[in-house]
Amino acid sequence: MVRFSVFFILILCALAAGSINRGRGHSYATGFLLGAILGPAGVVLAAITGKIEKPAEVYQAKINDLERQKEALEKLLKSYPGNSKDGNK
């Protein structure tokens, strides 16, 4: 009975670690094996691993930052005395 309980807990840990890993962009199989071998420690390790960011997400974040900087600079230039879009001083 104890062996069955340990086996059941390891399978639950394997499933949990696999789904955590998949949600963070890693391989499901790696998380599954990690959870199956290490048990609850594998689930904790899967939970503390960093999320893999996709290149598109990284570049979109950089584009958003640049757009915010551009807007801030335009606002600053408009507020600077002597600068106007129509060229009048």
More confident of the two residues 12 and 84: 12
pLDDT exceeds 80 at position 84? no
The model's pLDDT over 38-71, given as tens digits with 9 standing for 90+, comes to 999 999 998 888 787 677 777 888 899 999 999 9
Q: Provide the token pair at 21.
A: 């890993």
How many angstroms separate the CA atoms of 46 and 62, rounded? 28
CA triplet 32, 4, 36: central angle to 5 degrees?
Answer: 15
pLDDT at position 28: 92
How many angstroms separate the CA atoms of 34 and 14, rounded? 7
How many angstroms separate the CA atoms of 28 and 36, rounded? 12
How many angstroms separate the CA atoms of 72 and 78, rounded? 10
